[in-house]
Structure formats: C-alpha cells, structure tokens
A and B are shown apart, each in its own frame.
Chain A
Amino acid sequence: MAKRTLPRLLQTPAVILLLLWMLVPLGMTLYFSFIRYVLNSLRRPEWTTPSISNWRGFGNYEYVFNSKDFWFAVQNSLFIVVSILVLTVILGLAFAMLVNRSFPGRGIVRVLLISPFFVMPAVNAVLWINMILDPVLGLNGLAVEGINSMIAGLRDFPVLGAFFSLWPELEPISFRATQTSAYAVIMMVTWQWTPFAVLIFMTSLQSEDEQQKEAAILDGAGSWSRFINLTVPHLARPIAIVVMIQSIFHLSLYAEIEIVSRGNGNKNLPYLIGEFTSNNIGAASAAGVFAVILANIVAIFLLRMVGKNLMD
C-alpha cells in the first residue's frame, strides 16, 4: 500500500489550488455580506474599510430582498435562461434528427451547424446587435426598409394598389429597448448554444438501438411514434444534461447583457451584482450569496447525475 501513497499525492496540487480558488473569495463574499461596506461614503467614512465593527447582520440581505431591481433581475435571469433552454432543446432535437442520416455533404452540414458555438461571446453579441438586429443599419432595418419600399411600389398598381395602400408602413423593432433587448440576448445565445445541444443529441442518437427500431418498423410503427416511443426516452438523459449544463452557464450570462444594453432595463443577476459592486459591496455580496444558492440548486441535480455513472 505504501507504493500507492506517492501516486495519490499527485492530486494534492490540484485539490489545494481549487480549494483556495473556491474558499477564499467565497469566504470573503460571505463575510462582506454581513457587514456595512461601501467604496465611497463622505458621510460615513468608516464604512469604506471592511471591518467586523461594521456588522450589519442580515441587513444587506434585507436591503437586497426589498429592492425592486433585485427581484426584477432574478425574474429576468430566469426568463432568459428558461427561454434559451426551451429553444435550444427543441431546435437541437430537430437538427440532430436531421443530420442523423447519411446524405451528400453531411460532414459540411455538421461543421456549419456547429460553428456558432466557437464564436467568442463578445463577438457574438457585437455582431448580432449591430449588424443583424440594428433597426436602421442592420439587416433587420434593411429588410424592413426593403419590404416597405416594395409595398410602396405596389401601391402604384391600378387595382392592387388600392389594397396595398391600406397597408401600414412597417416599423423595424429596436432591440436595444428594455424588453426587446432580453429577446436579443435570447436570440444570440440560442444561436450559440443550439450547436451544443445538436452535438450532444447527435452523439447519443448514434448509440440508439437500431435493432429495436427495425423491429418497430416491422411492427408497423410510424416514424412519429418511433420518435416519441423510442428516441425521446433514449434521449431523456442527454436532454437533462443539456438543460442543467446550460442553466449553469446562462445563469451567469454577462457579456451579452453588457454589450446589448449595458443592462439598461435588461439586468440579470450577475449584471446587478456588477452594478452593486461599483459602490455597495455589502449588497453585492448578499446578492452574490443568493446567486450561489440559485446555481447550487441546479448543480446538485447535475452532479448527482454525473457522479452516478462515474466509476463504471
């Protein structure tokens, strides 16, 4: 057994590093969440240095929970995450089924489909909000303008013109406004993460039992009933994993929110924490602790699932 001690010790650097990385900042966040701590205060300069004598108990939590911004941010975070999840799972399933058959150029189709996943989030957001969704200069604006001028042209026709003159001028949607900027974020993140769902569903479709499928065909099962009764149950686990991993990533969505709207009316929890951090560290920390708890609720399920088939 002595022979095994050294090899086992090889994991200690990794364990220690991760332990420090987790405990030190998190411990500080926990501590700051219980004291009064602001970066600038002319009135109460003693609050600008972290000290146990500024103990506030649950005051920061109370402050955060009573702020309208906080609940809006939580709601908005969940709205964005859930929308992305629903869209990516549905699109991912559909696309994975599409490429799960052999046809000419399948390799290229897969490469094209998967590419968005590797685009860095900052570029993704800048590209979408400016070049595609901008109501004047983006493709969004250009397309609406094109349709408008087409309708305007049709108005000159003798009979049809009367019909088209009843049509209103279309207005392009601005995606920098309060609610629509959440839609913009959902769109761009869905674009980026659908490939991830496709990849995972594709991998798992390849391990589907072909014999079972053939037997079902012989029994006269239609393709829809084969999909519902055989494929979907087979994919239950990958779907759960896609949902959980994405929840963890998207609960901490930041770059997209910042770039699309600078959080202007479209805050999520990480963005709100960032805003608190510019002055009220106590509140930022309390909101941070809440974010940790929220992420952990999801994480526990994921870890259980991953841990279960770990050692086989």
Chain B
Amino acid sequence: MATVDQSSKFSNVFWPIVAWVVALIFFFPIFWMVFTSFKTDADAVKPEFLFSFKPTLDNYLNMTENYDYWRFAINSVITSTFATLLALVVGVPAAYAMAFNPSRHTKDVLVWMLSTKMLPAAAVLYPMTFLTKNFLDIYDTHFLIIVVLCLINLPIVIWMLFTYFKEIPKEIIEAGKMDGVSTWGEIKDILLPLAWGGVASTALLTFIFCWNEAYWTVRLTTTEAATLSKLIEGNRAPEGLFFGRLSAVSTAAVGPIVVLGWFCQKQLVRGLTFGAVK
C-alpha cells in the first residue's frame, strides 16, 4: 500500500497541474479575443504591443458605428427569444402527452422527431429559399427565422422535456386527474411547477442553440432579419486591419452566451445526447 500512497502523492500534484495547463490552453483563444478587443486596430497587429499596450474601450464604443452591432444583436435577441418560446409552447404539451399518456407509437414518434433533426440543411436549401421567397414571401423576415429556429430545435426541446417529465411520478399527475383537474390545469398547476427546473434549462439551452445557429440565419436573410452570425460571417477576412474592432464585436456577440453556457453545462449533456447519457 505504501507505494500506492507515494504514487498518489505525486499524481495529486502532477495531474492537477496538467489539467490547469490544458484548460488554460483551451481557453486561450477566447482570452485572446477579449484581450485584443482592448487594443486599437493599429496596436493589435504590432508584435511589440503583443502583451503590453494601452488599453482602450474605443472598439466597444464605436461598435454601432463600425458594424451597426445593435441592429444585428437585437435581431438575434428577438429571433432567439421568440423561437425558444414558440418551441416551448409547442413542445410542452407534446412532451406532456408523450410522458404521461403514451401510446404504442409514442416511442416511434419520438425517434422520428429526432430523425428530422438529422436532415442535412444543405439538401433543402433551394426549396426553402424558393418557398420563402417566391411562394410565401416571408424571406428575410423575423417571422421566418423564428419559425425555422423553432423547428430545427423542436425535436431537442421535446426530447429534453420528455426526459425531465419522465422523472415526475405518474401518480402525482394521476391524482390531479382524480380530483377532476382539466388537462390544461394539470399542465399549468401540477406539471410545470414540478418540472420548472427542467423547463428552464431546456429554454436556456434552446436559446443558446438559436443564438449560435449559422446556416439558416445566414442563408435566409439579407438585411432585415440578419442576426449576429450573419454580421460576423460578413467580416470573414478583414485582412488584419481591424483585429481590435473585430475582437470587440465578436466578444460582444459571444460573451453573454458563453456565460449562459456555464450555467447549463449539465443540461447540455442531456439535451445533446437525447437522454442517452445521464
């Protein structure tokens, strides 16, 4: 046993140091982006100012002027918020039905829903453009982006809610039924208060996915409903002239979401593995 103790003494110091080093390396690109956002564009590309420079807030103050940041940010907020709400409005009743009143086909329905998520977006790019531009005339509207974001996340929303709802004892819901509570009352007064945490983390995760979505939000918008993904994508090659301001706008675009993400690490596993890893 003595040898085990000795080796664990060594590894108790060594492996945590390795873990810290790895974590710092992994975080470095994000750190570098935030760090550079406080440099002027000129300083940002000069090696002599790599680490010592005069910090400035100009990049943040000029964000509206340089990039029209708020227009895109507001679009991101609007589309992500309403898409999340819409997904919950459609998803909560569906997950309720499947968790508490399953039929023989519930399992197949759930698996089928998930399969819609696996459809490669590129395969239906033209039909979507055609339908929304020529047929429905809703191309580049908030409405379209909200509906699309809702639909691509709906399977995940229903799956996550389903796994949370399954954890609630059926008896509690049944008891409500005995007392003559309506279906709506069951959801509103019994289920939602009990599953509040699950619903909240589902909402949070869906919001993050909506915010980061970069295919439909780029391909189905031009100016009106363009989100932050579109803004950043449009500045793909600034030729190094604008590292400072580009870092600032990037930091502003991802900062809130990264912080939100820290709060829902655990739920992320459930949401992304469809309850297969717990």
Contact = CB atoms under 8 A, between A and B. Distances in A.
A and B assemble together? yes
A245 B156 CA distance: 13
B225 interface: no
Contacts of A128: 29
Given A103-B19, A118-B208, A14 B154 contact: yes
Which of the four size classes fits the interface of chain A?
35 or more
A236 B120 CA distance: 27
A146 B47 contact: yes
* Chain B interface residue number, banded: 35 or more
Nearest to B230: A122
B53 to A, nearest CB: 14
Contact of A17 (B90, B107, B119): B90
B172 interface: no
A254 to B, nearest CB: 5
Contacts of B233: 122, 126, 255, 258-259
A277 B269 contact: no
Task: Name the residue among A3, A111, A129, A139 with the largest chain B CB count within 10 angstroms.
Answer: A111
A223 B11 CA distance: 11
A199 to B, nearest CB: 5
B243 A131 contact: yes
Contacts of B110: 307, 310
Contact of B240 (A130, A146, A195, A305): A130
B2 interface: no
Contact of B29 (A145, A191, A295): A191
Given A114-B265, A295-B118, A13 B229 contact: no
Interface in A78-114: 95, 98-99, 101, 103-106, 108-114
- Give chain A's interface secondary structure class: helix
Contacts of A309: 276
A66 B109 CA distance: 38
Contact of B215 (A138, A139, A255, A299): A255
Given A15-B109, A130-B243, A296-B118, A120 B276 contact: no
Contacts of A142: 47, 50
A251 B29 CA distance: 25
B139 interface: no
Given A134-B240, A306-B276, A14 B124 contact: no
Given A123-B250, A203-B278, A8 B214 contact: no
Interface string A151-180: 000000000000000000000000000000
A130 B269 contact: no
B74 interface: no
Contacts of A17: 90, 151, 154
Interface of B: 4, 12, 15-16, 18-20, 22-24, 26-27, 29-30, 32-33, 36, 45, 47, 50, 90-91, 93-94, 96-98, 100-103, 107, 109-111, 113-131, 151, 154-155, 158, 177, 183, 208, 211-212, 214-215, 218-219, 228-229, 232-233, 235-238, 240, 243, 246-247, 250, 253-254, 257-258, 260-262, 265-266, 268-269, 272-278
